[in-house]
Amino acid sequence: MNGNAFEDRPREACGVCGVYGIPDVAPLIHAGLFALQHRGQESAGIVTSDGTQVRSIKGLGLVNDVFPADRIRQLPGHLGIGHVRYSTTGSPRIQNVQPLVVECSDGIWAIAHNGNLVNAQSLRRMYQESGAIFQTSTDSEVLVHLLADPMFRARPRRVARALSELKGAFSFLLMTKDCLMAARDPLGFKPLSIGRLGSGYLFASETCALTQVGAEYIRDVEPGELVVVDASGMHSSWFAEGGGAGVSQCVFEHVYFARPDSLLFGQNVHETRVRLGMRLAQEHPVEADLVTSVPDSGNSAALGYSRQSGIPLDFGFMRNHYVGRTFIMPSAEERARSVDMKLAVIGNVVKGKRVVVVDDSIIRGTTSRRRVSALRDAGAKEIHLRISCPPTIHPCFFGIDFATRDELIAARHSVEETRRFTGADSLGYLSLEGLLTPFSNAGRYCTACFSGHYPLDVSRMTGKDALETATLLLNLE
């Protein structure tokens, strides 16, 4: 299995943050990345420029591990970009930490990417066969080679032409020593927002990062749009014909990834999740004594379920925020023990009660099973699992590190079989129709992980380690 078999959660994708036009951008980027830490805890990096020199610091670990106060001071400059990562393509090794920084014939380029490119393997193979050398096993590096390719470098609208060769999900931040660029794929899978602070501009995966530094949210980067900020101001152009026609935004961003205080694709995440919980209560009512959530991503939906059902909301679980990251622990036993430490049952709340447990998703089913068991041990009389999205039966190829189809419990088992596996007294998933009810523009959302209807051809996608394997084989040859 990829990742941790005991961690029944979709893995975080990545978060990006960029700033232009403020005298000392590194502290702002650091604060923005801290606000986006929920999107990736594997590594972090910041690149800045003072117009003459480009400086970079990055490493494995959390933002505050990689950037103690003295390191931030080593990154002067009025423009820069940052990245937090959980790998969806390529392994967790230092070469894959972003932003990627390369030197081309026309100077230094830095790139930070959120998403997954479905044509990365074919592009990589094409460049390798022509003699190009790749330093990482990430899909993001193919953009570097496109930018360095003389076919694009010598032509007008170089960056736009390079971006138009990419297929899949991407929100990119790019920078040179004197310019910052932001781009979002034509289908708009991943979010990317624009903010303003004084005379400076900010870009971030979620608006919570803008709020963190006191910036004013202006708008989102549109699907298929390339935004350029330099000494002459902010400019916009389209690199994809139609500028966003046929949009397919990731609905799972609203279900799980985004922070509740973010404005995502034009809607507040908390309010959207509350509405999902209310619809869940309508679709799967049950007689119970209390509603509780699996913190933190289940909190808002649990509130909605409680409001709609009239069943009181209480804290059945207490989250320990200081448990280490389970995916780096060496043994299965350690990982399982750590997962158990993440949430503690408050026994006095659930003992003798009929409990509705609201969670955002079930992926492999292992963690849900452990949660139900813990509630039983604490004396819960009945346990009714309620999930604020449909069964996840298909893998995602657009920037979420879901398990493979064989590992997704809902792909192999009926709802009743899944209920028996978890040990719950009942199990109810939100319907696909119910999932889309909070959105006035429901047709603009990707639901492939639930429906199997992918907006792009993914027949050649082989998993997050595909480029890693290719790299190792090439090195051996």
CA distances from 125 to 46, 91, 139, 153, 309 (A): 29, 19, 12, 20, 55
Report residue 49: phi and psi, to 5°. Answer: -140, 140
373: left (phi over 0), alpha (psi -120 to 50) or beta: alpha
Burial of 85 (0-12, 13-18, 19+ CB in 10 A): buried
Catalytic-residue membership of 14: yes
Catalytic one among 14, 17, 208, 389? 14
Radius of gyration of the chain (CA): 22
CA distance 414 to 449: 16
Instruction: Please choose, from the candidates 366, 413, 424, the residue with its C-alpha nearest in 3D space to the C-alpha of residue 391.
Output: 413
Nearest to 105 by CA among 47, 145, 76, 157: 145
Distances (CA, A) of 91 to 6, 94, 124, 208: 19, 9, 17, 28
> Which among 401, 380, 314 is positioned nearest to 90, based on CA atoms?
401
**Helical axes 120-129 vs 141-148, angle rounded to 10°:** 50
Q: Which residue has the tokens 């530094």?
A: 213
Identify which of 156, 61, 54, 60 has the alpha carbon closest to the alpha carbon of residue 110: 54
Query: 293, 361 in Cβ contact below 8 A?
Result: no
Rounded CA separation 367/204 (Å): 31
Catalytic residues: 14
